[in-house]
Structure 1
């Protein structure tokens, strides 16, 4: 049961980091003068990039750890 709890907490933390990264990217895009659709597109791509990076790290760790 403890393993499942750790996995769920790590997933929640990854989602939180992805949302914060997306919010930061959107805010920076708006501050640099981008319109709303462009800012949302940049935020969505940052969100996807964080999730992709997390999946790549998890795959690499799954290959290395027993």
Structure 2
């Protein structure tokens, strides 16, 4: 497979994992009694952190 296809698949997996992490984080935040807006914010922060970390790791491993 070409490198572009593999990169696209890895980015897709990273985004899907980020969505799962965001959903779990938002649910846990809501269960703990936070308002909906705070739960959504917590989920967004978790998504951004997960995707950013994973993409940075992919980039740094690609450069090796």
Q: TM-score range by the shorter chain?
A: 0.7 to 0.9
Give the TM-score, by structure 1 length.
Answer: 0.85
**What SS does structure 2 have at the residue aligned with 1:34?**
coil
Give the equivalent residue in structure 2 for 1:11. 11
Shift of 1:30: 0.6
Report how many residues are paired. Answer: 64
Unaligned runs of 5+ in 2: none
| Greater mean alpha carbon deviation, residues 54-63 or residues 7-16 | 54-63
Cα distance between partner residues in 2 of 1:28 and 1:37: 13
If the length of structure 2 is used for normalisation, what is the TM-score? Answer: 0.88
Matches within 5 A, 1:10-49: 10-49=10-49
Cα displacement (A) at 1:55: 2.3
Equivalents in 2 of 1:4, 1:60: separation in Å?
Answer: 16
Structure 1 runs (4+) greater than 6 angstroms displaced: none
